[in-house]
Amino acid sequence: MSKKDIGIIGMGVMGRSIARNMGSNGIELALFNRYIENDEVRVAQKVIAQYEELRNASGFEDLKAFVADLKRPRKILLMINAGTPVDDIIQQLTPLLEPGDVVMDGGNSYYKDTKARVQQLCSYEMHYLGIGISGGESGALKGPSIMPGGTKIAFDLVRPYLEKIAAKDHLGGICCTYIGSDASGHFVKMIHNGIEYAEMQLLAEVYGILKNVGKFTHPKIGQILHEWLKTDADSYLLYITANILQERVQGKPILNTILDVAGNKGTGSWSTQAACEYGIPATMLSAALFARYTSSFYEDRLRAAQYLEIESISKPKLSLDDLYHAYRSARIINHHQGFHLIAKASEDQNWNVDLSELARIWTNGCIIRSRLMEKISTEIDRLDQILLLPAFYKQVQASLGQMKKISTVIVNTSVSAPCFLNALDFAKAYSQKRSTAHIIQAQRDYFGAHRYKKKDDPDGPSHHHLWKAP
């Protein structure tokens, strides 16, 4: 039997779906899954038996036999949990591989871990690619957005296989592109997920406003969101949210059965850490992350609700038109922050990420695909800050009044909507000709002699004032 094109390690949901996608595209596969007595036994073989598109694949529990079944240079895709499991499998693989072989990590690994692994395998004259893959189970099966980072040589070796399984954009382009060196692929996937956090939170806030202020039923909210899908607010997340709101179990809304505690798997917190590290005010993804954290204190929230009764100041007037336009502009601000963070990291790390091309591969296959992303892909090559582009700042400017009205509704009621409030606050702070930061600088110089620049000489020397003793 001939040797295989690609080896995949890990037959969980994503690994299995990627394998089926590759198999249906004529890629010959060797599949490996660990053996755990009485728990994980002959998993790869069972997956092959289950799916017709994998009939020509071979399955293994022995790593040495798995590696021996691959064509040289060997190309191995890891679809396993991030962290220690990745390091463990690399340690087991490296003695079995040879110079020129390629190891790809298709999980949501922390980008600094990926950077270290690139260097580690480079010392063995092997290649390591950190590959961001977005689209969930359905995307992995039908066509995800793929973000490879690492050496260009390694990408060129695996490019034909990745391009075969990737989604296509609305013009037929392949939603897979070389992102840049070392950890760039995993970094942009991490920020993709940060943008995703805020997109999801904004929709949760839209729901909260419509339900608790507008007093609309779940089916009615679903209808409203389905109407928004006919506009330039259309997105995959809006689509699934509209469907969720109309889903019923035994005649009742399914949402009534779901506990209001949101989970997270690390990429949101890593995105916030990166924003702090690179000094970018990504306030919306951070607000979305902390909203999830707050939701997790379920018992505390039940107790606090007994003591903190936040009543409406007045009966708010909710306009669906105001909410729609505020939502559209909040999304622009969220994307501005995410792309600004990617641009800054790319500059600092010398990744040379093409933001227009990145936005293009995010127009299909991935979770944050939308009409807005299509527009960003055609505009952002002019400048890396979205809110400085006329196509976007004009829209935000036109809806500032509506953003203020919705923020007033939020503040005057018991609804929690941190992303909407952050969007308006960021728009105000970002557009200030004169901020209040000079007070901060004076305070820092007063108590710590940290010095300050003068307004009439911003590029000149730093100064220290002899303040009055406290």
Q: What is the CATH number of the domain that holds 275?
A: 1.10.1040.10
- In SS3 terms, the chain reads as CCCECEEEECCCHHHHHHHHHHHHCCCCEEEECCCECCCECCHHHHHHHHCHHHCCCEEECCHHHHHHCECCCCEEEECCCCCHHHHHHHHHHHHHCCCCCEEEECCCCCHHHHHHHHHHHHCCCCEEEEEEEECHHHHHHHCCEEEEECCHHHHHHHHHHHHHHCCECCCCCECECCCECCCHHHHHHHHHHHHHHHHHHHHHHHHHHHHHCCCCCHHHHHHHHHHHCCCCCCEHHHHHHHHHHHCEECCEEHHHHCCCCCCCCCHHHHHHHHHHHHCCCCHHHHHHHHHHHHHHCHHHHHHHHHHCCCCCCCCCCCCHHHHHHHHHHHHHHHHHHHHHHHHHHHHHHCCCCCHHHHHHHCCCCCCCCEHHHHHHHHHHHHCCCHHHCHHHHHHHHHCHHHHHHHHHHHHCCCCCCHHHHHHHHHHHHHCCCCCCHHHHHHHHHHHHCCCECECCECCCCCECCCCCCC
Q: In this structure, are 402 and 273 located in the same domain? A: yes
- In the chain, the percentage of residues whose pLDDT exceeds 70 is 100
Cis peptide before 390 (omega within 30 of 0): no
- In the chain, the percentage of residues whose pLDDT exceeds 90 is 91
CATH number, domain of 28, equals: 3.40.50.720
Distances (CA, A) of 160 to 47, 166, 281: 24, 10, 38
Separation of alpha carbons 195 and 176, rounded Å: 19
Q: State residue 37's pLDDT score.
A: 81
Q: In this structure, are 328 and 421 located in the same domain? A: yes
- Which residue, 310, 292, 328, 318, is CA-closest to 221? 318
Q: State residue 1's pLDDT score.
A: 66
* Residue 371 burial (CB count, 10 A): 16
| pLDDT tens-digit map of 101-119 | 999 999 999 999 999 999 9
Q: Which of 28, 196, 199, 205 is catalytic?
A: 196
In a domain, 362, yes or no: no
Instruction: Work out the average pLDDT over 176-194.
Output: 97
pLDDT band at 309 (very low <50, low <70, confident <90, very high): confident
Q: In this structure, are 169 and 283 located in the same domain? A: no
Pairing of strands 145-149, 127-134: antiparallel
* Residue 112 burial (CB count, 10 A): 16
Separation of alpha carbons 178 and 357, rounded Å: 9
Question: Range of 443's domain?
Answer: 437-470
Instruction: Work out the average pLDDT over 395-423.
Output: 96
Q: Is 196 a catalytic residue?
A: yes
As beta bridge partners, residue 401 has none
Separation of alpha carbons 139 and 128, rounded Å: 23
Domain count, the chain: 3
The domain boundary residue, chosen from 182, 217, 242: 182
Q: Is 64 a catalytic residue?
A: no
| pLDDT tens-digit map of 344-356 | 999 999 999 999 9
Q: In this structure, are 76 and 162 located in the same domain? A: yes
The chain-wide mean pLDDT, for the chain, equals 95
Q: State residue 334's pLDDT score.
A: 98
Contacts of 307 (CB under 8 A, 6+ apart): none
Q: State residue 54's pLDDT score.
A: 97
The domain boundary residue, chosen from 150, 182, 214: 182
| pLDDT tens-digit map of 20-50 | 999 999 999 999 998 888 788 899 999 999 9
Q: State residue 317's pLDDT score.
A: 87
Instruction: Work out the average pLDDT over 167-182.
Output: 96
| pLDDT tens-digit map of 311-346 | 777 778 899 999 999 999 999 999 999 999 999 999
In a domain, 363, yes or no: no
pLDDT band at 283 (very low <50, low <70, confident <90, very high): very high
Q: In this structure, are 210 and 178 located in the same domain? A: no
In a domain, 99, yes or no: yes
In a domain, 354, yes or no: no
| pLDDT tens-digit map of 425-460 | 999 999 999 999 999 999 999 999 999 999 999 999
Q: In this structure, are 339 and 409 located in the same domain? A: yes
Q: In this structure, are 20 and 163 located in the same domain? A: yes
Q: Which of 115, 189, 375, 405 is catalytic?
A: 189
What does the longest C-alpha to C-alpha distance in the chain come to?
86
Q: State residue 38's pLDDT score.
A: 76
Q: In this structure, are 104 and 205 located in the same domain? A: no
- Which residue, 341, 169, 207, is CA-closest to 270? 341
Q: Which is higher by pLDDT, 75 or 310?
A: 75
| pLDDT tens-digit map of 232-273 | 999 999 999 999 999 999 888 999 999 999 988 889 999 999
Whole-model pTM: value is: 0.95
As beta bridge partners, residue 132 has 147
CATH number, domain of 457, equals: 1.20.5
Residue 133 above 90 pLDDT? yes
Instruction: Work out the average pLDDT over 182-188.
Output: 97
In a domain, 348, yes or no: no
Q: In this structure, are 65 and 194 located in the same domain? A: no
Q: State residue 266's pLDDT score.
A: 85
Q: In this structure, are 170 and 229 located in the same domain? A: no
Q: In this structure, are 161 and 247 located in the same domain? A: no
In a domain, 350, yes or no: no
The domain boundary residue, chosen from 147, 182, 217: 182
111-122 vs 84-93: helix crossing angle, rounded to 10: 10
Q: In this structure, are 169 and 207 located in the same domain? A: no
Both tokens of 178, joined, read: 């070389």
Distances (CA, A) of 129 to 38, 53, 101, 107, 225: 33, 26, 11, 11, 39
As beta bridge partners, residue 47 has none
Residue 4 above 90 pLDDT? yes
Contact 284, 423 (CB under 8 A): yes
Q: State residue 3's pLDDT score.
A: 95
In a domain, 336, yes or no: yes
In a domain, 396, yes or no: yes
| pLDDT tens-digit map of 198-233 | 999 999 999 999 999 999 999 999 999 999 999 999
